[in-house]
Amino acid sequence: MKTAFITGASSGIGRATAVALAKSGFQLILAGRRRERLETLAQELAPTPVHLLTFDVRERAAVETAVSELPAEFAHVDVLINNAGNAHGLAPIQDGDVADWDAMLDGNVKGLLYVSRAVLPRMGEGGIIVNLGSIAGYEAYANGNVYCASKAAVAMLTRTMRIDLLPRGIRVAEVAPGMVETEFSEVRFKGDEERAANVYKGVEPLQAADIADVIQFIVTRPPHVQLAEVVVFPAAQAAATTVKRASQG
């Protein structure tokens, strides 16, 4: 049985990916900060073998310790899904909160690096890494500054990782979603549910399961096939800030 390691597995795209890969016959290493949610998910996925890790990807020592202590039956990793990440705030650069900047760069960029570095010694030829990017990594938009920069870093890291890991026979892909309805907007707007809901007003956004389907497709391709970059929009979206809402007719 192949093993998939998923970060940010307690909610959203990470959780949906765990469900999709369990159905595809993977055993799972599920990492996240919220232990209770991970335990509930593990119960729902039974009888799929699951190992839980509780850490914040921004904490390098915690990542390294957790991965080093994986039990023998989960010691070899076939698939790594670098899903954990965050968006905080939506302000022009001159008004940005430095704490928000740190959270995004530490989680979206450094966290991806910490986890990848820890897991790669456990991955052999045929392994696959999927990094969760965003359309924000391809298109700048007003007040997106540091978030856009962090996701642009994910896009470039994915490309360079693909080159570096080619001799080892490890494939590396990026999935870059557009508008997906998860906890993303609530986190960005610091719990302001009304403001978060307005992001999706008049639009049928993607759901976490839609992105999980794409990830599941990527990691189940034959060994000679590599999907390098996949951008996924809902039908009502054409670009980062080009969205047809119901009120537009």
Q: Measure the CA–CA gap between 30 and 126, rounded to whole angstroms.
A: 21
Q: Cβ-count burial of 238 within 10 angstroms (0-12 exposed, 13-18 middle, 19+ buried)? A: exposed
Cβ pair 112, 96 in contact under 8 A = no
> Is 141 among the catalytic positions?
no
Q: Which two tokens stand for residue 114?
A: 């910490």
Please give the distance of CA 192 from its chain centroid, rounded to a whole number: 23
- Which is the catalytic residue, given 114, 138, 147, 200? 147
Cα radius of gyration rounded to whole Å, the chain = 18
Cβ pair 33, 111 in contact under 8 A = no
Q: Measure the CA–CA gap between 198 and 232, rounded to whole angstroms.
A: 21
Catalytic residues: 147
